[in-house]
Amino acid sequence: MISARALAPVRPTTETELAPRPLAYVSARTLAELLDCSESTVRDMTRRGILPAPVRISGITRWVWSDVVIAISPRPDRAGQPDDDPILRASRGS
């Protein structure tokens, strides 16, 4: 499991020590771990447009972490609007 500390930039304590690199590109497994869901849920959320499409880098599939953060962040322009997800609408009886 990835700790919250791994996500936060850390200052080096000495000049020779390197700070951990912030997440840039994540695999389906890492993204699922960070979102506390399964890899199949990550793929389904991508297919439904909730998560951004992944990029292919030399034959591997990765999600751009900054795009994921933007996609899952609350958006004030959608506050109070009905959800477009038919499953959520059905679960609410609408």
- pLDDT band for 74, please (50, 70, 90 cuts): confident
Higher-pLDDT residue of 72, 80: 72
pLDDT value, residue 86: 73
Give the residue ranges of DSSP H helices in 1-92. Answer: 4-7, 28-35, 39-47, 65-72, 86-91
Residues 9-65 have pLDDT tens digits of: 555 555 556 666 678 999 999 999 999 999 999 999 999 999 999 999 999 999 999
User: How much is the pTM?
Assistant: 0.60
Higher-pLDDT residue of 60, 78: 60
pLDDT value, residue 93: 72
